[in-house]
Structures are given as C-alpha cells and as structure tokens.
C-alpha cells in the first residue's frame, strides 16, 4: 500500500506541475483571472509532494527525477528567452532599440560607403557577417529575428561553458538566471548587437 501511494504521488506530481504551468500560461495571456483560484495553495501542494518524493526516493529515482527536472528547466529557460524577445513584435513590426538606425545604415551601406563613423564604430567582422545574412534575409528580419537568434545561442554558450568548468547543476542555474536577468533583456532592448555577438563568440572559443 505504501509503494502504491508513493507511485501515485510520483505520477501525480508531474501532472499537477504541468497543469500549474498551463494555468500560469493562461493567466499571462489574459484568458484566466489570477484571482480565479487560490494558486498559492496549489503551489504549496506541488512543493510538498515534490519534497516527499525526493525525501523518500531511492538513488535511482533521484537520478531520474533530477534528469527530468534538468530538462524542464532547460526547456523553460529557452522558452522564456524566446518569448520575452518576441513580445515587442506581437503587435509591432518596427525593430526596437536605441541604435536601430545606426545598425540599419551599417548593414545596408557600411561596406559600400565605409564612412568614417562606420569604420570607427562598427567592426569589419560585424559588417561582413551581416552581409552574409543579407543574402538570405532583409534588413528588418536581421534587426529583429537574427538578433533574437543570437540571444538564444548565447544561452546555449552560457550553459555549455558553465557545465564544462563547474557542473550540470551550475549550468542549469546559470541558464535560468540568464533567461530571467533584467540586464540581458536590456542588452536586447537597447540592441547592443555587437556586444551580444561578441559574448557568444567569446564563450564559444572555449570549445575550439
């Protein structure tokens, strides 16, 4: 009877957790009022069930639960990174950012005109990289979605470099912190394009 109860709680934990995440998703998009249910009670129930499972689990069970939890956090982190960057474009087609006009000119005319301020403020590597993307995409796509792409791959770089030098637990925590960080979102919102690409390549050199 005790074994059946433990298995019942273990199976229920992931289902309740998935249901809780679905509710939060519906609240975020306004389909459900945050006052409709006592979510703090539900979150407490989930926490208590999770504590009971981990406290009473065998070593093999802990490894399985740890693996699933790692996958959930990694997946959720990349969903958050992507979602927060797509929000500004849900009802707006204009690229955001303080330096949008500068980057637009540099991408369109930088290599051809080689203005003094372009040569002093935009690295040749960036110009050549953007000229490659221009073969496949228009400038607005580059200013919006290629920037989002580099934000996502920077998350991968942070995860792998932290995992290499520390541990998988530290890597998951670093990725989660990155996905929720106000600073990294400001980097995106101000369109610090060169800085974002530079960070990605700096971290990636570790694996070369």
pLDDT of residue 122: 80
List Cβ<8 Å contacts ≥24 apart for 194-198: 194/122, 194/123, 194/126, 196/147, 196/150, 196/151, 196/154, 197/126, 197/129, 197/150
pLDDT of residue 1: 42
- The 10s digit of each residue's pLDDT in 6-52 is 566 666 777 777 777 787 777 777 777 766 666 666 777 777 776 66
pLDDT of residue 16: 74
Number of H helices, E strands in the chain: 11, 0
Please report which helix (H) or strand (E) contains residue 66, including its range.
helix 59-86
CB neighbourhood size of 85 (10 A): 20
pLDDT of residue 143: 93
What's this model's pTM, rounded to 2 decimal places?
0.69
- Percent above pLDDT 70 for the chain: 77
- The 10s digit of each residue's pLDDT in 59-106 is 665 565 567 778 888 898 899 899 989 988 888 888 888 888 888 888
| C-alpha–C-alpha distance, residues 112 and 107, integer Å | 10
């Amino acid at each position: 009877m005790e074994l059946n109860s433990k298995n019942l709680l273990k199976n229920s934990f992931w289902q309740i957790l998935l249901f809780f995440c679905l509710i939060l998703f519906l609240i975020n998009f306004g389909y459900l009022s945050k006052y409709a249910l006592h979510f703090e009670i539900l979150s407490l129930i989930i926490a208590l069930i999770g504590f009971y499972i981990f406290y009473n689990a065998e070593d093999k069970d802990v490894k399985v639960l740890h693996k699933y939890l790692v996958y959930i956090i990694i997946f959720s982190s990349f969903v958050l990174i992507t979602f927060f960057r797509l929000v500004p474009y849900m009802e707006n087609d204009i690229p955001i950012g303080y330096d949008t006009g500068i980057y637009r000119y540099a991408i369109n005319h930088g290599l051809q005109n080689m203005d003094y301020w372009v040569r002093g403020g935009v690295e040749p590597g960036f110009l050549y990289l953007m000229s490659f993307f221009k073969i496949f995409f228009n400038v607005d796509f580059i200013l919006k979605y290629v920037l989002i792409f580099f934000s996502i791959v920077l998350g991968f770089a942070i995860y792998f470099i932290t995992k290499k030098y520390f541990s998988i637990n530290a890597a998951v925590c670093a990725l989660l912190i990155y996905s929720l960080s106000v600073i990294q979102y400001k980097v995106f919102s101000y369109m610090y394009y060169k800085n974002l690409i530079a960070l990605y390549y700096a971290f990636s050199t570790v694996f070369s």
